[in-house]
Amino acid sequence: MVGPSKNRRLGVLISGRGSNLQSIIDATETGRLDATIAVVIANKEDAGGLERARRVGVDTAVLKHTSYESREAYDGALINELRRRDVGLVCLAGFMRLLSVRFVEAFPNRIVNIHPSLLPAFPGLDGQGQAWTHGVKVAGATVHVVTPELDAGPIVLQATVPVYDTDTPEDLATRILMEEHRIYPEAIAIILGGGWRIEGRRFLRE
């Protein structure tokens, strides 16, 4: 069983517009999430989420993965940036990079990700589009603890959305995104609050 985290400092990793980052910012500002965003790190200098962070005074950094000779070297730099800011929980929010074993082991059970499908269905890129193409009747979003395997870690929370016959892939993606914004801060609060354990692939709450 894991007790409440004394370190409630978040490091958020992004690659793009940062809409899930915004949901975390909003939750901390309204008190729904008792945490502090210590830093937002992007692997692209034009990531829109950087401006979202700067507008509310959150520290930002850009680490371009193209500037490093290997995944291991890049992840080492990420680890250093996060540790320098005493980050206790790493939150992936549209971070389009596979993390190495080195990175995952640096923050054991302290990395979470939001994915736009009901895992284990439709891992990887464009989970929403995969679901629409497959013709499922129910789709959704998943928050999971990150492991070295792609989108395969223990599931913390899931939310479902209906898939209508008239939906376009964009319609479905919009509906899923609304649920992502709702459950991601909730899942982060669960992780920080303690009272859970991991058995195999299962995330169990006391």
- So what's the pLDDT on residue 201? 92
Distance in angstroms (rounded) separating the CA atoms of residues 167 and 162 = 10
Q: Which residue in 65, 115, 134, 181 is the catalytic one? A: 115
Pick the closest to residue 3 from 203, 179, 196 (CA basis).
Answer: 196
Distance in angstroms (rounded) separating the CA atoms of residues 186 and 123 = 22
Q: How many residues does the chain have?
A: 206
- So what's the pLDDT on residue 2? 82
For residues 95-104, give the mean pLDDT: 93
Cβ atoms of 150 and 183 within 8 Å: the answer is no
For residues 152-181, give the mean pLDDT: 97
In whole angstroms, how far apart are CA 32 and each of 28, 92, 175, 177, 203?
6, 19, 22, 19, 22
| Residue 162, preceding peptide bond in cis (omega within 30° of 0) | no
pTM surpassing 0.85? Answer: yes
pLDDT over 80 (residue 3): no
Domains along the chain with CATH numbers: 9-205 (3.40.50.170)
pLDDT over 80 (residue 138): yes
**Residue holding tokens 């629409």?**
132
Give tens-digit pLDDT for 101-124: 999 999 999 999 999 999 999 999
- So what's the pLDDT on residue 1? 66
For residues 13-32, give the mean pLDDT: 97
Is 144 in the active site? no
Cβ atoms of 39 and 61 within 8 Å: the answer is yes
Q: Provide the token pair at 71.
A: 């995944």
Give tens-digit pLDDT for 40-89: 999 999 999 999 999 999 999 999 999 999 999 999 999 999 999 999 99
- Mean pLDDT across the chain: 96
Q: Which residues pair with 14 in a beta bridge?
A: 42
- So what's the pLDDT on residue 56? 96
**Higher pLDDT residue, 138 or 97?**
138
Distance in angstroms (rounded) separating the CA atoms of residues 15 and 135 = 29
- State the pLDDT confidence band at 17, using cuts at 50, 70 and 90: very high
pLDDT over 70 (residue 139): yes
pLDDT over 80 (residue 193): yes
